[in-house]
Structure 1
Amino acid sequence: MTSADRRLTPRRKPRQVRAELTRERILTAAAHVFAEYGYAAGTTNRIAEQARMSIGSLYQYFPNKDAILAELLVRHIDRGAWTGADGLDLTPGSLKDAVQSLVRDAIDHHRDDPQLLRIMIEEAPVSSDLLEAIDRHGRARVGQVREVFARHPDVRVQDLDMAVELVVGTVEMNTHKLMATPHPNQVERLETELVAMITRYLHGDR
């Protein structure tokens, strides 16, 4: 483990329910503090105060705020599964609905706190856990999307594997970019145009 990884590694991995609850309390408090004060002013003292614990107790779990932010981003990424994939209609003519489900799911996953999302994107340090989570989430989401597209009769792309990579990357990149700085009506416009673009592409329209 490199010195950078050690700096970003939580000090205590919860093994008991009480420890896990304490860790969650710290992460919840940190999300609130970062969203309210920004990252620079979101100190560990403020996080400890928000979590109603001593700074010494906080340091038993995380060595610094960089490690806390890195853990918040790992948790955010790991919660990003396509929740509606199993209930889709895969009959002819339903491709637009399937694509809309994918896009809307990504938007909803990033809707809660734009300020925190922006901080996570701009400030979160890269740790081995984060890289692992990105890879794990990427493989899981690509697998989900590939399974749906492979079974849909209206998907007519020549290279399904590459098409899935392109679709997932396009949805993730544009959703992150817009939801970090949302403006009135832009979210609906993003959904409409992404769905139209991806549906035409999957239909094989040129």
Structure 2
Amino acid sequence: MSTTDGSATASVEDAGGTGSGRDAIVRAARRAFTLKPYAEVTMRGIATAAGVSPSLIVKRFGTKEALFNTVADFGAAADALFAAPLPELGRHLVLTMVELRDRFGGDPLLRVVFSLGIEDERTLLRARFREQVTDRLAGRLTGPDAALRAELIAGQLLGLGATLSLHRPDGAGAHASAERLADLYAPGLQRLVDTA
């Protein structure tokens, strides 16, 4: 499977474009590629789940490979997650995770953990996650152990996403405001950001 495509354009559109079912297609594709190996995912199945025609997916994305590459791109989520100065980053990370989950109807990062694809697909997802999320965050951190701290922060973000997913729709987290979640969860993240 090739990794060269137009995913830079697709990731920008994935960041918030709502035109003509694009968000629904991306959500359905994320679910499909997370729950099934690449070879078992069909454009028709994604179209059915998204409530659109297969021809619309072809018009918007071209091929299944291009759609997969959109799903495998964490760049837009990282742009949003890291758009705060370091002294405010912990709280911003929590608030942004919750906002992205609400906007896209699912966690923007968890697919890296739960993908059932073949080894090449899982390897691609993890490599993209490392490059676009963990390594990018490590480059922003100051002080010792930046790479380790970035991995721990990424792990805590994945943990937050998993917790909110696991306990929905009736868990306490589902009923807590984003501000309350940030009050409780952000200090641990901020400590890893600030550690020198």
Report the TM-score, using the length of structure 1 for normalisation.
0.53
Cα distance, 1:43–1:137 mapped onto 2, change above 3 Å: same
Q: What is residue 169 of structure 1 aligned with on the other side?
A: 151
**1:39-83 per-position Cα deviation (integer Å, ceiling 9, x unaligned):** 459852243353744x2453463433x752442231x33431421
Q: What is residue 135 of structure 1 aligned with on the other side?
A: 131
Give 1:148-167 correspondences, 5 Å limit: 160-162=143-145, 164-167=146-149
Q: Which runs of 5+ in 1 are unaligned?
A: 15-21, 89-97, 147-159
Distance apart, 1:144 and its partner CA? 2.2
Q: What is residue 72 of structure 2 aligned with on the other side?
A: 73
Distance apart, 1:119 and its partner CA? 3.8
Query: 1:10–1:67: 8 Å Cα contact kept in structure 2?
Result: yes
CA distance in 1 between counterparts of 2:92 and 2:159 reads 15
Instruction: Name whichever of 108-117 and 168-177 sits farther off.
Output: 108-117
Cα distance, 1:120–1:102 mapped onto 2, change above 3 Å: same
The total of aligned residue pairs comes to 159
Q: 2:114 aligns with which of 98, 115, 122?
A: 122
Distance apart, 1:172 and its partner CA? 0.9
Distance apart, 1:121 and its partner CA? 3.2
Query: 2:107–2:161: 8 Å Cα contact kept in structure 1?
Result: no
Q: Give the aligned CA root-mean-square deviation in angstroms.
A: 4.3
CA distance in 2 between counterparts of 1:116 and 1:137 reads 11
Cα distance, 1:138–1:45 mapped onto 2, change above 3 Å: same
Distance apart, 1:29 and its partner CA? 2.2
Query: 1:9–1:62: 8 Å Cα contact kept in structure 2?
Result: no
Cα distance, 1:130–1:119 mapped onto 2, change above 3 Å: closer
Q: What is residue 198 of structure 1 aligned with on the other side?
A: 192
Query: 1:12–1:62: 8 Å Cα contact kept in structure 2?
Result: no
CA distance in 2 between counterparts of 1:25 and 1:136 reads 27
SS at match of 1:110: helix
**Paired AA for residue 71 in structure 2:** L
Cα distance, 1:198–1:10 mapped onto 2, change above 3 Å: closer
CA distance in 2 between counterparts of 1:79 and 1:116 reads 6
Q: Could you tell me the percent identity over the aligned residues?
A: 11
CA distance in 1 between counterparts of 2:56 and 2:94 reads 36
CA distance in 1 between counterparts of 2:8 and 2:189 reads 40
SS at match of 1:28: helix
Distance apart, 1:175 and its partner CA? 0.9
